[in-house]
Structure 1
Amino acid sequence: MASAEPPYVAIARRKQAALAASIPAQWKLPEHLIPAGMLTPAESITEGPKQYGRVNVMNIPRTCGLLTPKELDITEKYDVRALVLSMTESKLTVEEVVEAFCKRAAISHQLTRCLTEPLFDRALNRARELDDHLRRTGTPVGPLHGLPVSVKDSFNVKGVDTSVGLAALAFQPATSNAALVDLLESLGAVVIAKTNVPQTLATLDSCNNLFGRTLNPLNRQWTAGGSTGGEGALVAMCGSMVGFGTDIGGSIRVPAMCQGIYGFKPSEGRIPFGGQGGGGIPGKSRMSIQAVAGPIARSVADLGAVMAEIVPRAELFGEDCIPGFWPTPSVPATLSPPRNFTIGILKTDGLVTPLPPITRVLDEVAQILRRTPGVEVVDIPTPPAMRKCQAVAGGLMGIDGGSNTLDLLESMGESLMPWHLQQGKFGPKRGKPLDIFQVADLQARRSELERELLKMWTLGLSPERRVDAIICPMAGHPVPPLDSYKGVGYTSSFVLLDYPAGNLPIRSFTESDLELGQAMDTPLLGGWDKMNRQLWDKKVTDRRVYLDSPLSVQIITPKQRDYELFQAMEIVDRAVQGHGNTTQAKL
């Protein structure tokens, strides 16, 4: 006699039915336009890696016939400032802008499974209120009047679930908004949807039993990243102008890398983080390592446009925020005396040797910058302390032993996702919570690393020799196949240090990057390095899977130098685009 199905299965069916019902019939794609191999949410978890072919769905919203020419223009032709200006000058109504983005978000979801909570009805109601306010008063509600945005599922939105892909948290609507949601709405922005995340919010492939797997719209064979993977897919497909995620190990930057767009992890206190769901212990972050909230967008300018409005106001909304200032206008087209903008190149963290295409694109960016007026490029030797950052970050993330999340999974009979299972000894396990002395020891080690790595910004010489920004790898490998992302040392380390960090797409992976027949001959550095090299070992991975994938670099600045990070991203992006190498996700 067959055993009864575990409780999560029925809950998942209800949740997926509610999601499907929230998409209007006239916004649904004909079946023949959805590429074969989409699979059901449940099948996407177990069969996805074997069944997904090399399919790019980026152009389907334009060719499907559901979006009018005007809606295509609205969702593709504007940056943040231009779109807001068009609405405040009544060239476009907020309602028609929000409807265009809601429709495109619905289409994006049907192709990538990126949404968890479509908020289309309430978004359109809010849009009408904003239009009415502008007609009556002649003034916009705020500097982001009418801007369609989306948020990661972990942000509470009143009246809506914050299930984060866990059946045990489904059908328990939030009773209040996260502080960031309140701040965005006070600025006039309109939240149109919440987006998918990984099981446990702690993996690098956005896949869970409740909503299934979010697919990368550039190529279904590649991971969409995590934990803000749904945002990455939605923003890349122009289903939202700006998406907001969270980052503790790379959860904003990794999806941006995987979709070839821009991600910004600010310093702690710049953007309100409070009001998160997820089943964790409240207050844990005050003892361990603080995740931060930040934006994902299709341009550096759009990142700056929202940061410029959020940062100066954040302290009024989030108890976790500090006073902030964001200068405008941004960096001039040409830099001027008294000194150059100094950018350092850090080629490795000393723990994982980047695969050849990662080293190559880093070298290319350095060469472009050396030819850029007003920029000085210096090499940054890998500080020995960098090798220790990932272990300390991992220790602080796990101070509670992980029991709360595992209890929620077990209560509904949920199995672990493939990414978890493939991590072996690095995967999730029930541990013993650390005592106060163990936590204090980790924080003391963290302080030592912070102190030692201050020297990186002065090249170990004097405070006068200041490095403004550092460029380093985003990961040790290119965008990998599903469930294959290896390690977060290049991203988690900068959360530990509280350095602002951003993802910047550079170019696509080409035939010349394959180096077929060549193997890495550098000494093996350890277990993480061994795992990383599996993604280049021809016995394990066919390198041709990387063809056309976006190659990115990561840019970091010292603690609380968030505006300088934006400047550096502008400078590098401008230099790279001027050189003709750019791979922002194309339609």
Structure 2
Amino acid sequence: MSPVNVTIASGASWQEVAADRQRHRDATIASLNPPLPKLSASDIPLDTTGIPGSILTAKELEITEKNVEDLVSLLASGQWSAKTVVQAFMRRAAVAQQLTNCVTEILSERALQRAAELDDHLAATGQPVGPLHGLPISVKEHVGMKGYDLNAGFVAWVGQVGEEDALILQILWDAGAVFYVRTTQPQTLMHLETRSNLYGTTVNPFNTTLTAGGSSGGEGALVGLRGSVLGIGTDIGGSIRSPAANNGLFGFKPTALRLPVSGWSATMAGSDHIVGTIGPLSTSLEGVSLFVRTILSGRPWLREPSLVPIPWRGKDQLEERARGRKLRVGVIWDDKVVRPHPPILAALSRVVAELQKSDEVDVIEWECWKHDLAWEVIAKLYFCDGAAEEKAAIAASGEPLLPLSKWILENPHVREHTISTLWQAHEERQAYRTSYAAIWNERDVDVILCPAGPGVAPKLETARYWGYTSQWNLLNYPAVVFPVGTKVSREESAQGKQDNKEHEYPEAYKPMSEADQYNYDLWKEHGVDGYVGAPVSLQLVGRM
């Protein structure tokens, strides 16, 4: 099957391939009607979040400012048509692309055809197709769509094509969803920011000098600008939670083998040393919940047998399990490897203070156990061929190796394993998981509250510490990122309202590690002014 709108000639340079992909993306945006004004660099401020309000119509703004739970009700009742809703989101997504470079293509023909079918069905039967009837959902590019390019961020892979929709898309489609836009990802899919030689750098809508996160950074920026309110990301070291945190969103990394991943495209297919997972980014917690409930109600384990066959466990079941005792929340202030920047510690302090006011919650200090070792173990298992397949995919087109690709692929823990060294690495993984589980059992906590990263959204090309997210991939624990409702503010910091002074680095601070020195230097160099506008988020970790 030929991919949709890939027109590159045989033997084209990597620059020509990238130019073709960008032309295609721009053409899909130009096809929207009525046309959108073209913004110049001088039109784009540091904080871009106010720009959609100056471009879109009042109705488009009303629609795109609704959350998932509001939209599904309005669509199911017929108060708003699927066509009207998807048109509004396509236009806002196109604006988001100009502001942050987050889109690989708008799927207007496919989306409008789907929307018309849904509207006709509702008119004819009076019933919605399913719980997501007419809901626009954005999709990270490497989640396959039938007939569409599936390059996974590699120039050499342009022209590969999805043979069918990924299983997760099939289930969402049956529930009534509309897929209308695909989003950017980084070279290798292994950055905590989003930059590729195909599309360039995706930036943060709240402060364009910062990263939107990665590897689902296109989703993060798009949902952050409400060009989507529910999108699909993937995560093997923080790739859902990093963009969710950086853009002030809810993002959920399920336990691996909980939601279906068949049909995505990535290197090292078949590797099960550290298993990636797939999940939602949303403007609301209910959007996350509805996404997961819908997927599990489709019983994906019947078609992807490796999945854990556990249905949705509802709120009543969880309350029954906790009945008779308080909720026990363990708190990680720092992981003893990297101290978080002051805005994160200040936010964590505020949340803990609120929890301590509750008669239904016990808060305990969680002493981290060998989180530095956790990084050594997981980094050793990310690229068991010594990153040979990743490097070959990059070399095949002649595209340059990007700085954060080089940083992760040439990490000192990366090695080409023999069978015996791989077995040994698996034993180390299992031993770490067993030890951590024993500690959790002993302390008897229900969840852990912790930072989602060593700071708010990092400066571009500086996201080099994964420990606050990859820790939970190694342990295979589910984790959700949530915004705390504040942003880094120059004015509030100056007035002491953020309590940053209490959480500033002490005089003559001695970093705990090389990674901590790096993170400390970033704060010393940029301080509040460098991160102004960035949302502040935290992470909640559980066990399946």
Q: TM (normalized to structure 1)?
A: 0.84
Partner of 2:438: 455
Within 5 Å, which residues of 2 pair with 1:131-142? 131-142=119-130
Describe the shift of the 1:520–1:531 C-alpha distance in structure 2 as closer, same or farther (beyond 3 A): farther
Aligned mate of 1:488, from 466, 486, 490: 466
- The whole-number CA distance in structure 2 between the counterparts of 1:290 and 1:337 is 33
Within 5 Å, which residues of 2 pair with 1:271-286? 271-278=259-266, 280-284=267-271, 286=272
Q: 1:498-537 CA deviation, whole Å, 9 max, x = no partner?
A: 1001111112223146659965645432222222222122
Partner of 2:161: 173
Partner of 2:7: none
Partner of 1:71: 60
1:273–1:320 CA contact under 8 A, matched in 2: no
1:204–1:225 CA contact under 8 A, matched in 2: yes
The residue type paired with residue 10 of structure 1 is E
- The whole-number CA distance in structure 2 between the counterparts of 1:97 and 1:530 is 48
- The whole-number CA distance in structure 1 between the counterparts of 2:455 and 2:363 is 24
Partner of 2:82: 94
Q: 1:362-400 CA deviation, whole Å, 9 max, x = no partner?
A: 2221111101242221111222x3331111111110112
Deviation of the 1:241 alpha carbon: 2.2
**DSSP-derived class of the 1:222 partner:** strand
**DSSP-derived class of the 1:353 partner:** coil
Partner of 2:512: 525
Q: Which moved more, 1:475-484 or 1:307-316?
A: 307-316
Within 5 Å, which residues of 2 pair with 1:231-270? 231-270=219-258
The residue type paired with residue 274 of structure 1 is S
Describe the shift of the 1:238–1:320 C-alpha distance in structure 2 as closer, same or farther (beyond 3 A): farther
Aligned mate of 2:480, from 487, 502, 505: 502
The residue type paired with residue 147 of structure 1 is L
**DSSP-derived class of the 2:137 partner:** strand
2:184–2:217 CA contact under 8 A, matched in 1: yes
- The whole-number CA distance in structure 1 between the counterparts of 2:140 and 2:504 is 42
2:107–2:181 CA contact under 8 A, matched in 1: yes
Q: Does 1:371 align with 2:357?
A: yes
Q: 1:436-460 CA deviation, whole Å, 9 max, x = no partner?
A: 21111111111111111113323x3
Describe the shift of the 1:29–1:137 C-alpha distance in structure 2 as closer, same or farther (beyond 3 A): closer
Within 5 Å, which residues of 2 pair with 1:4-15? 7-15=13-21
- The whole-number CA distance in structure 1 between the counterparts of 2:165 and 2:332 is 40
Aligned mate of 1:58, from 49, 53, 66: 49
Describe the shift of the 1:518–1:131 C-alpha distance in structure 2 as closer, same or farther (beyond 3 A): closer
- The whole-number CA distance in structure 2 between the counterparts of 1:27 and 1:211 is 25
In structure 1, the gaps of 5 or more residues are 39-53, 561-587
% identity of equivalent residues: 34
- The whole-number CA distance in structure 2 between the counterparts of 1:433 and 1:426 is 11
- The whole-number CA distance in structure 1 between the counterparts of 2:413 and 2:337 is 26
Q: Does 1:340 align with 2:361?
A: no
- The whole-number CA distance in structure 2 between the counterparts of 1:469 and 1:297 is 21
Aligned mate of 1:354, from 321, 330, 340: 340
**DSSP-derived class of the 1:227 partner:** coil
1:269–1:320 CA contact under 8 A, matched in 2: yes
Deviation of the 1:290 alpha carbon: 0.2
RMSD: 2.6
1:402–1:429 CA contact under 8 A, matched in 2: no
The residue type paired with residue 61 of structure 1 is P
Deviation of the 1:301 alpha carbon: 1.7
1:167–1:412 CA contact under 8 A, matched in 2: yes
The residue type paired with residue 446 of structure 1 is R
- The whole-number CA distance in structure 2 between the counterparts of 1:97 and 1:203 is 33
Describe the shift of the 1:27–1:248 C-alpha distance in structure 2 as closer, same or farther (beyond 3 A): farther
- The whole-number CA distance in structure 2 between the counterparts of 1:257 and 1:429 is 28
**DSSP-derived class of the 1:246 partner:** strand
Count of aligned residue pairs for this structure pair: 522
- The whole-number CA distance in structure 1 between the counterparts of 2:68 and 2:509 is 45
- The whole-number CA distance in structure 2 between the counterparts of 1:209 and 1:357 is 33
Q: 1:29-86 CA deviation, whole Å, 9 max, x = no partner?
A: 424x444287xxxxxxxxxxxxxxx61111211111xx3322211111x322321121
Deviation of the 1:128 alpha carbon: 0.8
Q: Which moved more, 1:374-383 or 1:390-399?
A: 374-383
Partner of 1:312: 297
**DSSP-derived class of the 1:275 partner:** coil
Q: Does 1:549 align with 2:540?
A: no
Partner of 1:390: 375
- The whole-number CA distance in structure 2 between the counterparts of 1:469 and 1:431 is 31
- The whole-number CA distance in structure 2 between the counterparts of 1:147 and 1:517 is 44
Describe the shift of the 1:395–1:332 C-alpha distance in structure 2 as closer, same or farther (beyond 3 A): closer
Partner of 2:5: none
- The whole-number CA distance in structure 2 between the counterparts of 1:253 and 1:158 is 27
- The whole-number CA distance in structure 1 between the counterparts of 2:85 and 2:52 is 16
Deviation of the 1:182 alpha carbon: 0.9
Q: 1:116-139 CA deviation, whole Å, 9 max, x = no partner?
A: 132121011111111122222332
1:336–1:374 CA contact under 8 A, matched in 2: no
Describe the shift of the 1:100–1:517 C-alpha distance in structure 2 as closer, same or farther (beyond 3 A): closer
- The whole-number CA distance in structure 2 between the counterparts of 1:431 and 1:498 is 20
The residue type paired with residue 350 of structure 1 is K
Q: TM (normalized to structure 2)?
A: 0.90
Q: Which moved more, 1:350-359 or 1:403-412?
A: 350-359
**DSSP-derived class of the 1:124 partner:** helix
**DSSP-derived class of the 1:306 partner:** helix
- The whole-number CA distance in structure 2 between the counterparts of 1:21 and 1:154 is 21
